[in-house]
Amino acid sequence: MTPARDISRLIEIMAALRTPGTGCPWDLEQDFASIVPFTIEEAYEVADAVERGDYADLTDELGDLLLQVVFHSRMAEEQGLFAFPDVVEAITQKMTRRHPHVFGDTSKLSPDEVKSLWASIKAQEKTERAARRGGAEGNKSLLADVPRALPALTRAVKLQAKASTVGFDWNDARLVLEKIKEEISECEEAIAEGDTAHVREEIGDLLFAVANLARHVDTDAEDALRGTNAKFEKRFAYIEMTLSKRGVPLKASSLEEMDNLWNEAKKL
């Protein structure tokens, strides 16, 4: 098969990979559950390409992510569940339904009004879906539809945001800061006790509170942490480079020397 710009060629390639007898043994043994980790990984690689501003790489990574959609769709088609065109139809219906201000009365809305409208339509869809299923979702927790497979930091923010829709939330970011201080004190106590399980629990509480603070000040917690990770990498690379120029192996350097170089990197 030759490369093509037509999505149908990618669908054909996946069908060939999944054809018993002539397909790829690895692709043939996969199922929805085994592919999920790759789907998540590809989404993160898209985010990484955006973070680095590498748009040639972004083209490649978006292709990898698209392949995941095609892979799941092919497995579903084999089981008679749905096919790729059904996925396309579902998302096009959803996007037009959730943007009545664009595809309907073309009202001029602010970004905040659009966000509110989106949430309202989404809630209505959820109610209608529950009715179609005989009210099976009616007794589910408000938090039940927050995916468990999300990264813990992202899921914490989504859980908090869900709870806030019914008023279970702080009304001032400064109150969240006080909660963080309280959690730090509890971490100190747990560490002093030497109870590993208690320390783990309190660190979790602290991280949850920090995620809450990020939400209250309209900061994406995952994005903020990615930025700090990148900053750490740059500063540590400066330490490595400087020590290498001095002919000093990392393991032979003292903490004081590395700390001084870290401060130099901060100034730079």
What is the per-residue pLDDT across 27-71, written as a single tens digit (0 to 9) for each?
999 999 999 989 999 998 998 899 889 999 999 999 999 999 999
Is the predicted pLDDT of residue 138 greater than 60, yes or no?
no
This prediction has a pTM of 0.66
Dihedral of alpha carbons 107, 112, 113, 117, sign: positive
CA 1, CA 16: separation in Å to the nearest integer? Answer: 10
pLDDT for residue 173 = 95
% of residues, the chain, pLDDT over 90? 72
Q: Where are the alpha helices (DSSP H) in 165-220?
A: 173-193, 196-216
pLDDT for residue 106 = 65
Instruction: Give 150-204 pLDDT, tens digit per residue.
Output: 889 999 999 999 999 899 999 999 999 999 999 999 999 999 999 999 999 999 9
Model confidence at 226, pLDDT cuts 50, 70, 90, reads confident
Q: Which of 117, 47, 119, 31 is nearest to 81 (CA)?
A: 31
pLDDT for residue 120 = 85
Q: What's the mean pLDDT when you consider all of the chain?
A: 91
Phi and psi angles of residue 195, each rounded to the nearest 5 degrees, phi first:
-90, 105
CA atoms within 13 A on the CB side of 93: 7
